[in-house]
Amino acid sequence: MNNYDCCKRSPQATDRLNVAFRSFSDVIQVADFNSENQFFQNIYDDDSVVWMGQNTNHFPTPQAIKRAMVNAIDKEEYHKYPPPYGLEELRALILQDLNLSSPHEVHVTEGGTESLYQVTRTLLDPGDVMISTDPGYYVIHKFAELSGATVLDLPIYSADTNYKLTPDMVNEAMSKRTKMLTLVDPLNPLGVTYTAKDVKAFCEIAQDAGVYLLNDVTYRDVAKLHTLAADFYPEGTITIYSFSKNCGLAGLRLGAHIATNELLERIARYKINDLGTSIVSQIAGIVALKTKNSWLPTVVETIMANQAIIKDAVDKIRGTYLPVYPSQGSMFVIDISGTGKTPETIADTMLKRGFFIRAAEYTTRRFADKYVRVSFAIPRAQVERFAIEFSSIFRA
């Protein structure tokens, strides 16, 4: 098999993707969750689709992690419910990975998304305001609104702010109703990260106002430099942690939230799962953290090389550019607003060619006509093929 065989698609594969919807943009409009699920089932079942739409890591899993999972299954360790807040060894390793200690504690969950839901549902009430960003990870916005809170999503899609939140913006937005400040760092979808000076300033603002700081650090392992908000504001920070993007365990659903014992006790009263997180997933997480130094450098190096390939292609397409480069995450956005094409059209076209990417609407309210989001924690050959196919749709 040559380098591009993994990206070739048969007519039958294309037909399967078209069973549920004529185009990817139809997913946004659908109200029937069964139809939406069928669409993603079709993509999941088609091994020829290159997965660049959910920032997931598709590099080969280290053998040590796979052996640990197989061993757990062979020993049938899944008959018992795990501890409700996670295996003690895993909880300790997560704290060690973040270089945090007492009074911080860890609650292991089925993915960072569960943690985000639990934290927002616990700490936000009707009438509260949560400050966030646009663009941003709008799953958090949805959870906040389910709690009856109002989301104040500050626009950051501008070179004037370097495409990120600033302390001045937060200061101006604070009010008596503000209850939570979200800091996704590095930021999905743009890939920006914050300096230690900025993180400290955000913490001081939150601390002075007595508001919570939700610090989602899902992509921190990719960043060249990263600062935890918990280092400056331990009593009010909730850190969201994930195994989905660094070691590629997205389908195993493993994450955590970290806070002081007092704050975690409060959040734990609203826990979703009383019976613990998958034992196989937790065992995989333990080995992943124990062996992290052996696999993470290669992951980061490949992610950086892959985004350079895409940048080279984008630089040659009239009307497109990268607002943020290099990204400090496993994704960035390609601004296509100067091409005359819509993000939905581009996403649809690329899906027909076997590449799953995201139109802007998934991550923004104001800037839905501006960009597509692509991720690149995938084999180099797939990135090279993407660069060719993406470039070609602007020559048609």
Looking up residue 26, the CATH number of its domain turns out to be 3.90.1150.10
324 Cα distance to chain centroid: 17
My answer on whether 147 and 264 are in the same domain is yes
My answer on whether 88 and 45 are in the same domain is no
My answer on whether 31 and 133 are in the same domain is no
Residue 76 lies inside a defined structural domain of this protein: no
pLDDT score of 272? 85
Strand order in the sheet with 255-260: 104-109, 255-260, 237-242, 212-216, 178-184, 129-134, 150-155
- Domain at 125, CATH number: 3.40.640.10
pLDDT score of 273? 85
Q: What percentage of the chain reaches a pLDDT higher than 70?
A: 92
My answer on whether 147 and 171 are in the same domain is yes
Place of tokens 């607002």: 323
What's the domain count of the chain? Answer: 2
What are the angstrom distances between the C-alpha of 81 and each of 67, 76, 211?
21, 12, 36
pLDDT score of 2? 37
- Six-digit token string for 94: 């997560």
Picking from 266, 213, 262, 261, the residue whose alpha carbon sits closest to that of residue 240 is 213
Chain segment 97-136, per-residue pLDDT in tens: 999 998 999 999 999 999 999 999 999 999 999 999 999 9
- pLDDT band at residue 381, thresholds of 50, 70 and 90? very high
The whole-chain average pLDDT of the chain stands at 92
Residue 256 lies inside a defined structural domain of this protein: yes
Q: Cα–Cα distance between 305 and 324 in angstroms, integer?
A: 15
More confident position, 274 or 335: 335
Residue 70 lies inside a defined structural domain of this protein: no
Picking from 226, 230, 210, 208, the residue whose alpha carbon sits closest to that of residue 218 is 226
Final residue belonging to a domain, choices 258, 290, 322: 290
Q: For residue 180, which amino acid is it?
A: M
My answer on whether 143 and 245 are in the same domain is yes
My answer on whether 285 and 354 are in the same domain is no
My answer on whether 244 and 105 are in the same domain is yes
pLDDT score of 164? 97
Average pLDDT over residues 77-84: 96
Instruction: Calculate Rg over the CA atoms of the chain.
Output: 21
Average pLDDT over residues 63-75: 98
Average pLDDT over residues 50-55: 95
My answer on whether 277 and 301 are in the same domain is no
Residue 71 lies inside a defined structural domain of this protein: no
My answer on whether 222 and 333 are in the same domain is no
Please give the model's pTM, rounded to 2 decimal places. Answer: 0.92
Give residue 27's domain range: 5-61+294-392
DSSP letters for 286-346: HHHHHTHHHHHHHHHHHHHHHHHHHHHHHTTSTT-B-SSSS-SSSEEEEE-TTTT--HHHH
Residue 279 lies inside a defined structural domain of this protein: yes
My answer on whether 300 and 233 are in the same domain is no
What sign has the CA pseudo-torsion 140, 141, 146, 152?
Answer: positive
